[in-house]
Amino acid sequence: MWTTTDTRLVITAAASVALVIVLITSRLRLHAFPALMTGSLVLGLVAGLGPSKTVGSFTDGVGGTLGDVGVVLGLGTMLGKLLADSGGADLLADTLLRRSGPRMLPWAVALLAMVLGIPLFFEIGVVLVLPIVFTVAVRLDRERGHEGGRDEQGRSTILRVGIPALAGLSALHAFIPPHPGPLVAIDALKADLGQTLLVGIVLAVPTVAVAGPLFAHYASRWAHAEPPASLVRTAAPVPGRQPSATADTGRQPSATADTGRQPSATADTGRQPSATADTGRQPSATADTAEHPPPGLTATLATILLPVVLMLLRTVADVVTPDGSGVRAVAEFVGEPVVALLLALLLATWTFGFRRGLSGSEVSSLAAAGLVPAASILVIIGAGGGFKQVLVDSGIGDSLAKAATGAGIPVLLLAWFVAVLIRLATGSATVATVTAAGIVAPVLAAEPSASPVLAALAVGAGSVFFSHVNDAGFWLVREYFGMSVRDTFRTWSVMETLVSVVGLLAVLAASLVV
């Protein structure tokens, strides 16, 4: 039964989320890290966790989030840095531009993200794909002579190609095993894994089309993105065009520093290239020189796809090999995300470094420079994870689930709606999936006509609804794109909502034939 305690918890959660937003976006311009800490502590104390448990819940959330994401982000940014400075990102950017053309580029990027998103966790996909996407966007701007990173129609090129990449990665994360959320839902709802995989891929196609290229066509007009220059490779000159002084992003620093910081050496874009840790190279040390030629397309693809192949190999081995076999044990080990990325990084030191004539110290310096932009991202993501954990430990998720089960709505809508409520309260897609699947399982068992496969996909769609300040992914995207909190809401949060709603509509349409 709903109680006054449940009402108090829901009001407290809403107020704490509002507090975080106000601290960051008001005149205070507080940095996101202390703002999230403040919101977490206020929430825990008002919700009745007590001082010590509130602090413990927050630190556990920080540790758990960074344990999952921190190593992946560190390895991924180092790999991305080597990919960028070697000229490999330029090579992939040129290939995409040449094969797809400017008009079809957002669709090509969405397809690339969907392919990579099948075996890759969302965070890994972000750190591997976005540096390439940023390079593609900047190269396109330079080739077409766009000013300020916007085309003739006033659309931000980075958002026009970046949003489709995020949509592809997010939809696959919500719908497709071996991602943790879908696997949990499949197990809890007794759905068939193969059918869920097949139907999920089919439903992901229209979902990504709407939330990706189609939405980006409009969202790129009203938002501004300014990724850290250290994540964008722009030193390689475009044939027939002289590099400009603003080659890093083609625009002056803007007021995207909604966390209260002034434009700095790692955030601005109007500086001259220098040999700082932010770039890790002298302005003359480009990948196009005869001394250090760029890697070939085969070597570049082999390096960037190695973690994808290893994680996909693990999935296949889990299905086709018996328990206890040596092949399965090896596949499970090398297919672990951190191991797969480590192996890819080691390969990159050869393909992007030694093979091109760089010394060991040069390769090490370049890889270490990739960690500089990751430091700020990590503390903000960790604080978002701490906020999420306080929300979970306060029991707000249970209160929302209690309200949903008494609503008396059809099972597919119930599955989606419960996941939405938990997602909004906790910020975690996985927590939303686990909780919603557990709530829906007995309801589904009492409805023999309902499809467990579609119920699992409905839960997955609901689990990504409207990412906001209690979601570590919100801060990851914001920091990578260099957007204000306001613009992150208007792009990333709306895109996630579209993935969720269009995914639900696709599930309901599929229920007519499945």
pLDDT digits (tens, 9 = 90+) for 148-179: 788 878 899 999 999 999 999 999 989 987 67
pLDDT at 41 over 90: yes
What distance, in Å, lies between the first and last C-alpha atoms of the chain?
A: 35
For 224-251, the DSSP string reads -----GGG----SPPTTSPPPTTTTTSS
Contact between 123 and 66 under an 8 Å Cβ cutoff? The reply is no
pLDDT tens column, 387-414: 878 888 888 767 766 766 666 678 899 8
Q: What percent of the chain has pLDDT over 90?
A: 28
- Write out the DSSP string of 399-416: HHHHHHHTS---HHHHHH
Q: Residue for token digits 């192949």?
A: 309
Mean pLDDT is lowest, of 192-201, 247-256, 464-473, for 247-256
Q: Each residue of 372-381: pLDDT tens digit?
A: 767 777 888 7
State the average pLDDT for the chain.
Answer: 80
How high is the pLDDT of residue 68?
A: 65
Residue that wins the pLDDT comparison between 74 and 474:
474
Percent helix, percent strand, percent coil in the chain, to nearest 5 = 70, 0, 30
**Alpha-carbon torsion 147, 215, 181, 468, what sign?**
positive
Q: Residues near 290 by Cβ (< 8 Å), separated by ≥ 6?
A: none
**Between residues 217 and 92, the one the model is more confident about:** 217
Tokens of 100: 């797809």
Tell me the domain boundaries of the chain: 1-240+359-514
Tokens of 257: 């520093």
Reported as a single tens digit per residue, the pLDDT across 217-246 is 999 999 999 988 777 754 333 333 333 333
- What sections of 48-179 are H helices per DSSP? 51-86, 88-117, 122-144, 157-175
Residues 6+ apart with CB under 8 A from 369: 81, 230, 277, 278, 279, 280, 281
Question: Which pLDDT value is given to residue 203?
Answer: 96
The helix/strand/coil state of 313 is helix
Q: Could you tell me which of 356, 371, 481, 283 has the C-alpha nearest to residue 87?
A: 356
Which of the pair, 313 or 501, is modelled with greater confidence? 501
With 50 as the cut, is the pLDDT of residue 96 above it?
A: yes
Quick check: bond before 164 cis, omega within 30?
no
* Size (the chain), residues: 514
Please determine, for residue 183, whether its predicted confidence score (pLDDT) is greater than 60. Answer: yes
pLDDT digits (tens, 9 = 90+) for 270-280: 333 333 333 33
Q: What pLDDT is attached to residue 219? A: 95
Helices 452-462 + 193-209 axis angle, to 10: 40
Residue 287, pLDDT > 70, answer: no
Higher pLDDT, 129 or 500: 500
pLDDT at 36: 86
Highest mean pLDDT among 22-26, 49-53, 59-63, 496-500: 496-500
Number of neighbours of residue 255 by Cβ within 10 angstroms: 8
- Supply the pLDDT for residue 129: 84
Q: Which amino acid is at 60?
A: D
Residues in CB range of 318: below 8 A, 6 or more apart: 178, 328, 331, 332
In the predicted model, is pLDDT for residue 256 greater than 70? no
Per-residue confidence band for 495, with pLDDT thresholds at 50, 70 and 90: very high
What is the pLDDT confidence band of residue 209, given thresholds at 50, 70 and 90? very high
Q: Among 350, 352, 347, which Cα is nearest to 334's?
A: 347
Q: Which residue, 18, 216, 181, is CA-closest to 109? A: 216
> In percent, how much of the chain has pLDDT > 70?
85
Phi, psi of 156 (to 5 degrees): -70, 120
Print the SS3 string covering 175-230: HCCCCHHHHHHHHHHCCCHHHHHHHHHHHHHHHHHHHHHHHHHHHHHHCCCCCCHH
User: What is the rounded average pLDDT of the residues 23-41?
Assistant: 85
Q: Which of 33-37, 79-83, 217-221, 494-498 has the lowest mean pLDDT?
A: 79-83
Token output for 77: 């940014």
Tokens found for residue 254: 């803007």
- Residue of higher predicted confidence among 471 and 509: 509
Check residues 365 and 194 and name the one with the higher pLDDT. Answer: 365
